[in-house]
């Protein structure tokens, strides 16, 4: 009796090892793993710098000019006193934003001309 139980347990362990050796899900897992690895290599993560570089020059110039104008309008009342200082600050924002827009537009045109000359 004891010999039959040992033989039965041995056959059960052998069967389990055979099933584990030819696990059909193992190949699926391996395929999924390699596919995921390839996809991760193909898809790059977007960084903040890439996002900023994707904005056209004219809008970047506009934003930078407006920010400089705001800083100037905040600092101007600290150094000067007068009734029209707020108006001068608002004019500084508008003028610097316009200048930034113009410079940015010029840089965009330069890039377009450079791309156009490379096509030919």
Task: State pLDDT tens for residues 26-80.
Answer: 777 888 889 888 888 888 788 888 888 888 999 999 999 999 999 999 998 888 8
Q: Report the pLDDT averaged over residues 102-108.
A: 93
Residues near 56 by Cβ (< 8 Å), separated by ≥ 6?
104, 108
Number of neighbours of residue 106 by Cβ within 10 angstroms: 13
CA distances in angstroms from 36 to 29, 40, 56, listed in the order given? 10, 6, 34
Q: Which of 21, 88, 94, 101 is nearest to 61 (CA)?
A: 101
Residue 111, pLDDT above cutoff 70: yes
pLDDT-derived band at 94, boundaries 50, 70, 90: very high
């Amino acid at each position: 009796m004891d010999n039959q139980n040992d033989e039965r347990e041995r056959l059960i362990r052998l069967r389990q090892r055979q099933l584990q050796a030819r696990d059909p899900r193992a190949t699926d897992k391996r395929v999924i793993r390699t596919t995921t690895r390839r996809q991760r290599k193909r898809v790059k993560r977007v960084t903040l710098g890439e996002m900023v570089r994707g904005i056209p020059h004219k809008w970047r110039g506009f934003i930078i000019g407006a920010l400089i104008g705001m800083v100037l309008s905040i600092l101007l009342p600290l150094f000067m006193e007068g009734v029209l200082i707020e108006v001068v600050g608002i004019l500084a924002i508008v003028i610097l934003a316009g200048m930034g827009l113009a410079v940015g537009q010029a840089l965009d045109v330069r890039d377009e001309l450079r791309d156009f000359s490379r096509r030919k």
